Structures are given as structure tokens and as C-alpha cells.
């Protein structure tokens, strides 16, 4: 069977989802999990876009052992130089150059002629080749480009040294038949195409990203790009876990293999959902909560008689296991450390101590602490570690009862060490709490979305709150967990504010990048 390479862009295209702002420790955690998942390439970011992105790409490049680490760059020398600085420590560095080829992009966005687009692409691939052995070139908006022009430019960038050609459906406009035809045309009309890997990259605006990717594979694509849980700008990207399982389950139709470790899917999906604050819908294929649930009597009956009547994928195949009961009040530091290692999460001594302390507090509330609880707690630690100058919640009280006006009193420490206190009322307890915090924060805050989930079941389950907020007009996600729902809610609110502060500190500031 021939091999399809998997190119993950969760940390670059995925991070372009509104509100998602991962700090560099969170990105590193995801990168390590992607390596365990077995992706062939991971796109770690866009180093020229910000100091924060540069640092994250560099940290990932310096850490990852087996997976090729790539970074996005415009077809300009300075982007290529910056990408090289970030990636030169990688075991397998690669660069991803892109330039638009569709008439609408060339005329209105780039203000370049087709000839100029060819010339710039060829020159910049040659320039990148002086530093990188592995150079991917993408024809942005390929699916709306003229096929003859595409064939011409692709032949030239391959001659200039490109090793991967990517044909994105940038705006999620194409259909499976049309996208498949484009790959076939390029295979048939570019004489040197067999010297390179041919890649597909689909957006999901019409809900066809995975179907389009599969059509590309049927027609000669040897690399599939996408993100975990399908996150990404607008409606997102092709969902890699769906592509992976479709290739496996329908290997009769798609005779290809990947290097993916399928039973790492659930863990990878959970990690990305937790750290980005982007929840997976219950009916999402492969990783949704209901993906393996059979409700109707006829289905349940069929499954009991023979699981294959209605179940085409087993939960175990994608790493879905029932929540194992695990540590409790009497578990020691050694057992706890063992569990952390089992999760593959690396903690400094200080972080481990912090995690153990939080775990002990949790066992006071919860008799049975599950894997999910521990994992949630470890992700909290990772998020906290990266926030140096931040607002800290010192204490709060909420007075609430039927017939009373909910009132909150909150004390926080500001990033400059000042102690702040205020009280406000609201129509409900969460509103009172949020209005009070808002009155203490210098930034202009507006709540867009608020969600509360329980981690596992039971009355003593951990609460996990997610907020999406506008902070000074910018959309930010935040998350917080605690045994108490109000505490989890307060943590989520401050987490979004702190992410904003970190992003706008000198370390994280993003330039507005145009091409």
C-alpha cells in the first residue's frame, strides 16, 4: 500500500480560529501530542507574524524529535530568513511558502500579474532552498485558479527546487468532483510532478473539506493537510481524525496507509479542545460524545446481536475508553507522578508540586478522582505557567437566594501587584460575579459566550467553564475548572483577560501581516 503523509496545521491554520490564542507552553504540549499521534509534518506557526509565534515555533523545533517541523512564510526574503532562524534547530526543518494564483487574488490582493507571481515564486523557492532541503510551495486559492496557469507555475517551482506542491481550497468553495479533477489535471499535465509530494488543503465553508480531501487522494494527492477537530479560520479545515479513520475503515476503497497511531485520536482531540477552548459538538464524527452512542431500540437490539450491524468503528480504535477510576485521598506523590508520566505531560518540579497540591485539594471534595479530572488539572497548570503578569483572583463571595438581588464581592491582585476590591449586583450569580470582575479590570470587556460542562459525571464532578469575550474589541477564549461552578466561571473570565494581556505583552505581540 502506498503511504499518504499527514500534515497537521492545528498550530497555524487552526490557531487562526476566532478567539484561539495558545501560549507557547500550550503549543508545545500540542506539538508533543501530535508527534505521539504520528503526523508526518506539523506546521508550528508563522514566525514572521509575531515574536510570540517565533518563540513558539523555535521551542517546538528544538524539542520535536521525529516529526518534520515546518513554518509558514510569505514569498519574501525576510519571512524566509526569520523562519530559518526559528527552525534551524529542528531535526527535520521544512518551510511552507505560499502565493496566490487565482485571478481575483492576483488582481485585487497582490496587484501582481501572472508573470510576476511566477517570477516571485520561483525566486523565493530558490532562495528558501539555500537554507531548507524541504520546501513546500502553496498556490493559495488554487481551486479558483486557471488550470493551465497552475500547471505552468507548478512546473517552474518544481524546477526551482520545491519538494512539496500544495493546492489549497482556501475559501472552501470546491466540490469533490471538481477538486479531484484539478489533481488529476496537474498529475497529467505537469511533466516533473512525480518528483514532488502533492498535497491537498481544504477549508470547510460548504461542509465538504473531508470529502474534498478524499477526492484529492483518489486523484493523486500524496499528502493531506488538516487540523485536529477541524478547527480553523471561519468554518475550519479538514478534520484530520476523520480523514485518518476514513482511510482506515474504507481501506478497501482507499488503498493507502498513514503513519498515524489511531488510538491517540481521542487524547489528541481532547487536548486541542481543552487548550483552545473550542468544544467538539456531540455529534461530531469520530470524536463527538455521541459518536458511538446508539439511542434507538432497533439499533441497540442490532448492536447486541452483532455490533457490526450498526457500528463501523469501535471506540477502542480511536482511543475512547470508559473513564477509569483512579487515584484518591490516600494516593501518594509517587503514584500521582506515575499518572502524569502516563499522560505524557512533562512538568517541572515546581509544576509537579503545584499539580500534586491541587490534586490533594480535589480529593477533599471528590472521593474518586478520574483520569479526566487529572488531565483537566494538568492543563490548568500548563496554562497558568505561561502567564507571568496577570490578574489573580484572591477571593470572592456571592450572595444569592430566591427573592434577593444577587450580589458579588471580589478581590483581585492586578498585574502590577495592586490589591483591588469591588461589589456589584446582577440578575443572576454569574452576572453579578462577572460585572464585579469587569469593574476591577482596566480592559473593556464584553461576554460573547459562556458554557459550563462537567468533567465526567456525578454530583462531585469538576466543573469546566468556557467563555468567549471581547477584550478591547478583540475576541479571546478563556477556560477555568474547579469543583465549584462559580469559581470555575471566575477563573475562565480572568483567563481570557490574562491571555489578552500575554498576547499584547512584548513577547506575544502580533503584527498585521499582509501580502
Residues that bind Zn ion (CB under 5 A): 13
Torsion of CA 50, 51, 52, 58, to 10 degrees: 110
The site map against ligand KIV for 65-84 (x = CB under 6 A) is -------x------------
Q: Which residue is nearest to Zn ion (CB)?
A: 13
CA distance 85 to 68: 16
Q: Which is nearer to ligand KIV, 171 or 423 (CB)?
A: 171
Residues 194-213 interacting with ligand KIV (rule: CB under 6 A): 201, 203
The site map against ligand KIV for 84-113 (x = CB under 6 A) is --------------x---------------
Q: Which is nearer to ligand KIV, 138 or 495 (CB)?
A: 138
Query: Which listed option, ligand KIV, Zn ion, none, makes contact with residue 241 (CB within 5 to 8 Å by class)?
Result: none
Please, what is the minimum distance in Å from the beta carbon of residue 371 to Zn ion?
Answer: 34
Query: Can you give the three-state secondary structure of 125-189, one letter per residue?
Result: HHHHHCCCCEEEEEEECHHHCCHHHHHHHHHHHHHCCCCEEEEEECCCCCCHHHHHHHHHHHHHH
Please, what is the minimum distance in Å from the beta carbon of residue 125 to ligand KIV?
Answer: 15
Q: Which is nearer to Zn ion, 13 or 40 (CB)?
A: 13
Query: Which listed option, Zn ion, ligand KIV, none, makes contact with residue 138 (CB within 5 to 8 Å by class)?
Result: ligand KIV
Query: Which listed option, Zn ion, ligand KIV, none, makes contact with residue 491 (CB within 5 to 8 Å by class)?
Result: none
Exposure of 148 by Cβ count < 10 A (0-12 exposed, 13-18 middle, 19+ buried)? exposed
* Sequence-ordered list of residues with C-beta below 8 angstroms from that of 474, at least 6 positions apart, any chain: 500
Residues 122-141 interacting with ligand KIV (rule: CB under 6 A): 138, 140
CA distance 6 to 228: 11
CA distance 256 to 1: 5
Q: Which is nearer to Zn ion, 230 or 508 (CB)?
A: 230
Distance of CA 122 to the CA centre of its chain: 31
Q: Which is nearer to Zn ion, 26 or 43 (CB)?
A: 43
Q: Which is nearer to Zn ion, 13 or 29 (CB)?
A: 13
Q: Which is nearer to ligand KIV, 207 or 403 (CB)?
A: 207
Q: Which is nearer to ligand KIV, 169 or 372 (CB)?
A: 169
Query: Which listed option, Zn ion, ligand KIV, none, makes contact with residue 49 (CB within 5 to 8 Å by class)?
Result: none
Residue 441 φ then ψ, to 5°: -105, 135
Please, what is the minimum distance in Å from the beta carbon of residue 7 to ligand KIV?
Answer: 10
Please, what is the minimum distance in Å from the beta carbon of residue 102 to ligand KIV?
Answer: 10
Residues 234-253 interacting with ligand KIV (rule: CB under 6 A): none
Please, what is the minimum distance in Å from the beta carbon of residue 212 to ligand KIV?
Answer: 12
Q: Which is nearer to ligand KIV, 109 or 504 (CB)?
A: 109
- The grid cell for 318 is 480511536
Report whether 44 contacts 12 (CB < 8 A).
yes
Query: Which listed option, Zn ion, ligand KIV, none, makes contact with residue 269 (CB within 5 to 8 Å by class)?
Result: none
Q: Which is nearer to Zn ion, 121 or 143 (CB)?
A: 143
Query: Which listed option, Zn ion, ligand KIV, none, makes contact with residue 223 (CB within 5 to 8 Å by class)?
Result: none
Query: Which listed option, ligand KIV, Zn ion, none, makes contact with residue 140 (CB within 5 to 8 Å by class)?
Result: ligand KIV
Please, what is the minimum distance in Å from the beta carbon of residue 168 to Zn ion?
Answer: 6
- The string over 196-227, giving b where at least 16 C-beta atoms fall within 10 Å of a residue's C-beta and e elsewhere, is bbbbbbbbbbeebbbbbbbbbbebbbbbbbbb
CA distance 312 to 292: 9
Query: Which listed option, ligand KIV, Zn ion, none, makes contact with residue 339 (CB within 5 to 8 Å by class)?
Result: none
Residue 227 φ then ψ, to 5°: -135, 160
Q: How far is CA 40 from CA 6, 55, 310, in A?
A: 5, 22, 33
170 binding ligand KIV? (CB under 6 A): yes
Task: For residue 311, give the nearest of 323, 327, 320, 299 by alpha carbon.
Answer: 299
- Choose which of 52, 168, 176, 319 interacts with ligand KIV (CB under 6 A): 168
The C-alpha cell 508526518 sits at 40
Residue 157 φ then ψ, to 5°: -70, -25
Residue 397 φ then ψ, to 5°: -135, 140
Which residues of the chain form contacts with ligand KIV (CB under 6 A)? 13, 72, 98, 138, 140, 168, 170, 201, 203
Amino acid at each position: 500500500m502506498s503511504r499518504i503523509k499527514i500534515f497537521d496545521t492545528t498550530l497555524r491554520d487552526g490557531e487562526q480560529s476566532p478567539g484561539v490564542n495558545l501560549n507557547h507552553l500550550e503549543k508545545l504540549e500540542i506539538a508533543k501530542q501530535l508527534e505521539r499521534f504520528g503526523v508526518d509534518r506539523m506546521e508550528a506557526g508563522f514566525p514572521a507574524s509575531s515574536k510570540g509565534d517565533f518563540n513558539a515555533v523555535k521551542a517546538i523545533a528544538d524539542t520535536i524529535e521525529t516529526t518534520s517541523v515546518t513554518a509558514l512564510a510569505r514569498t519574501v526574503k525576510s519571512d524566509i530568513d526569520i523562519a530559518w532562524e526559528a527552525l534551524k534547530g529542528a531535526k527535520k526543518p521544512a518551510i511552507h511558502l505560499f502565493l496566490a494564483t487565482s485571478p481575483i487574488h492576483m488582481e485585487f490582493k497582490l496587484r501582481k500579474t501572472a508573470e510576476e507571481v511566477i517570477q516571485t515564486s520561483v525566486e523565493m523557492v530558490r532562495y528558501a532552498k539555500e537554507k531548507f532541503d524541504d520546501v513546500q510551495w502553496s498556490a493559495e486559492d488554487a481551486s479558483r485558479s486557471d488550470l493551465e496557469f497552475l500547471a505552468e507555475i507548478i512546473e517552474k517551482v518544481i524546477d526551482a527546487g520545491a519538494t512539496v506542491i500544495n493546492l489549497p481550497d482556501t475559501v472552501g468553495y470546491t466540490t469533490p468532483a471538481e477538486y479531484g479533477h484539478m489533481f488529476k489535471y496537474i498529475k497529467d499535465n505537469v511533466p516533473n510532478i512525480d518528483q514532488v509530494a502533492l498535497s491537498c488543503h481544504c477549508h470547510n465553508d460548504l461542509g465538504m473539506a473531508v470529502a474534498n480531501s478524499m477526492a484529492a487522494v483518489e486523484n493523486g494527492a500524496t499528502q493531506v493537510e488538516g487540523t485536529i477537530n477541524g478547527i480553523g479560520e471561519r468554518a475550519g479545515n479538514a478534520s484530520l481524525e476523520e480523514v485518518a479513520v476514513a482511510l482506515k475503515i474504507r481501506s478497501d476503497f482507499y488503498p493507502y496507509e498513514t503513519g498515524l497511531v489511531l488510538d491517540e485520536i481521542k487524547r489528541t482531540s481532547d487536548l486541542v479542545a481543552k487548550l483552545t477552548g473550542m468544544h467538539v459538538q456531540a455529534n461530531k464524527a469520530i470524536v463527538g460524545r455521541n459518536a458511538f452512542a446508539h439511542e434507538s431500540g432497533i439499533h441497540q437490539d442490532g448492536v447486541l446481536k452483532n455490533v457490526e450491524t450498526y457500528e463501523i468503528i469501535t471506540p477502542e480504535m480511536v482511543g475512547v475508553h470508559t473513564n477509569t477510576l483512579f487515584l484518591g485521598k490516600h494516593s501518594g506523590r509517587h503514584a500521582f507522578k506515575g499518572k502524569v508520566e502516563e499522560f505524557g505531560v512533562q512538568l517541572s518540579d515546581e509544576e509537579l508540586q503545584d499539580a500534586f497540591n491541587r490534586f490533594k485539594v480535589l480529593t477533599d471534595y471528590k472521593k474518586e478522582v478520574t483520569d479526566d479530572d487529572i488531565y483537566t488539572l494538568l492543563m490548568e497548570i500548563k496554562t497558568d505557567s505561561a502567564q507571568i503578569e496577570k490578574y489573580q483572583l484572591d477571593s470572592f463571595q456571592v450572595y444569592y437566594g430566591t427573592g434577593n438581588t444577587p450580589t458579588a464581592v471580589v478581590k483581585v491582585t492586578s498585574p502590577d501587584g495592586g490589591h483591588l476590591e469591588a461589589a456589584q449586583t446582577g440578575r443572576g450569580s454569574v452576572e453579578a460575579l462577572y460585572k464585579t470582575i469587569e469593574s476591577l479590570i482596566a480592559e473593556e470587556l464584553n461576554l460573547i459566550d459562556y458554557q459550563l460542562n462537567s468533567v465526567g459525571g456525578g454530583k462531585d464532578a469538576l466543573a469546566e467553564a468556557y467563555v468567549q469575550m471581547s477584550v478591547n474589541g478583540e475576541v479571546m477564549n478563556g477556560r477555568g475548572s474547579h469543583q465549584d461552578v462559580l469559581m470555575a466561571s471566575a477563573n475562565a473570565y480572568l483567563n481570557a483577560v490574562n491571555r489578552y494581556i500575554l498576547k499584547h505583552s512584548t513577547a506575544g505581540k502580533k503584527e498585521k501581516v499582509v501580502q
